[in-house]
Amino acid sequence: MFKYQPTWLFTVLLTWAAVAFPSLFNASRQVISTSEYTLHGLFLILTLFVVNESTRIGYLIRYILLASLVAVLCSLFFISEVNLILIYSVMLCSILVFYLPALVCYGYIFIIHGLFLVSHALYWQHGWLWANAAMFTAFHFFALVVTQRMISEKQAKEQLALTNAKLEATQSLLSTAAEQSERLRLARDLHDDVGHSLTSLIINLDIARRTCNDELQQQIQACYEQAKQALQTTRSVVSDKRDNVGFNLIDCLHKLTQQTPRLDIQLDVEQHLDKVHLDTAQCILKCTQEAITNTLKHATSATCMKIKLEHIHSQLVLTICDNGVFSGAIVYGNGLKGMQERVSLLAGKLNLINSKQGLTLVIRVPYE
């Protein structure tokens, strides 16, 4: 249930200790209330729940925890007069940027420092601590900007890795398309040129065999049989070139999924589907690419994805599901509309199912 990056866990514990220990074990403070001990401990527990990377804690619960953290922090302003409490706010600000727009985070900085000034000026009677507020405001801005930059770089790396995976998959698709085009061209040339020439030769040999004398008939008969065998071989080669036209979809899907960042993708493909018609393979591959892109872009809480491709009742069924949380109605943007158009061109169907377990995409296209 609990999953942490070591650096995150160490930073949270170290920052909490840097604030809590000087505040609670300060010899100059005569009386420290039980409420203050409780709030410091509660702040640590709530923070550990928020930074937990387990998907069992959904976004709604995390927003509730964040609101509780803000409430605990505001309460500490009126229970403890220690200025170090604002370091908790710096830590909280660097977490908020993962869940809220930057503009909201900037608003939080001004509101929390306004509350700090008011509490110390009117409640603790320390006057207006403009210098302390300005210093900690600078710390907040620094934490916010650095975290935003880190998130932007992470997203850029993910986008680069995904683009590279798409390019390799597309390159494989184009290479196969070029190879199949060459095979079909060769098959047509053999059929149209060599096949027709051999047919004409067989007809002439048959006429010669029927009209020649007995001495030449045996030799012409041998040539006639060799020509028929050559024609049969040519037809067999043409049929083989045409019948083996197909796209190795399994290898291409493996290349795409193995290089996808952040997501742990489980790929389950029936082995006999190694040769799929080019149009069908292109539809399946492009829809899979778009589904992965949508999950990385919109379901930021998703950590794993399952992709299953199977043959059911003369249909090729692609099922893609993730564990991301998606709130609200599903809006068909350009990506989903493009997927639907690709599937419709093959007389197939596309269905989307949104549940608490995540989003499930089911595509069915004809397959023989």
Quick: pLDDT tens for 111-128.
999 999 999 999 999 899
Residues pairing with 276 in the sheet = 247
Share of the chain above pLDDT 90, in %: 27
User: What digits encode the pLDDT tens for the residues 176-229?
Assistant: 666 666 666 666 666 666 666 667 666 766 777 676 666 666 666 667 676 667
The helix/strand/coil state of 149 is helix
Query: What local confidence, expressed as pLDDT, does residue 138 receive?
Result: 94
How far, in Å, CA of 19 to CA of 15, rounded? 7
- Give, in order, the Cα–Cα distances in Å from 350 to each of 74, 277, 282: 49, 19, 15
Environment class of 80 (CB within 10 Å of its CB; exposed 0-12, middle 13-18, buried 19+):
buried
According to DSSP H, which parts of the chain are helical? 6-24, 34-50, 59-79, 85-96, 102-118, 130-189, 196-211, 214-243, 249-258, 278-298, 334-345
Task: Point out the least confidently predicted range of 61-70, 124-133, 332-341.
Answer: 332-341
Query: What local confidence, expressed as pLDDT, does residue 190 receive?
Result: 64
Angle at 334 between CA 328 and CA 336, to 5 degrees: 60
Query: What local confidence, expressed as pLDDT, does residue 264 receive?
Result: 82
Query: What local confidence, expressed as pLDDT, does residue 118 receive?
Result: 93
Residues written for the chain? 368
Query: What local confidence, expressed as pLDDT, does residue 4 receive?
Result: 81
- Where residue 139 falls among pLDDT bands split at 50, 70, 90? very high
- What is the average per-residue pLDDT within 22-33? 76
Say how many Å lie between the first and final Cα of the chain, rounded: 45
- What is the average per-residue pLDDT within 41-64? 84
Looking at every residue in the chain, the average pLDDT score rounds to 81
For residue 299, pLDDT over 90 is answered with no
Environment class of 296 (CB within 10 Å of its CB; exposed 0-12, middle 13-18, buried 19+):
buried
User: What digits encode the pLDDT tens for the residues 61-92?
Assistant: 888 999 999 999 999 999 988 888 999 999 99
Identity of the highest mean pLDDT range in 161-170, 229-238, 283-292, 296-305: 283-292
Task: Point out the least confidently predicted range of 19-23, 236-240, 317-321.
Answer: 236-240
Query: What local confidence, expressed as pLDDT, does residue 1 receive?
Result: 63
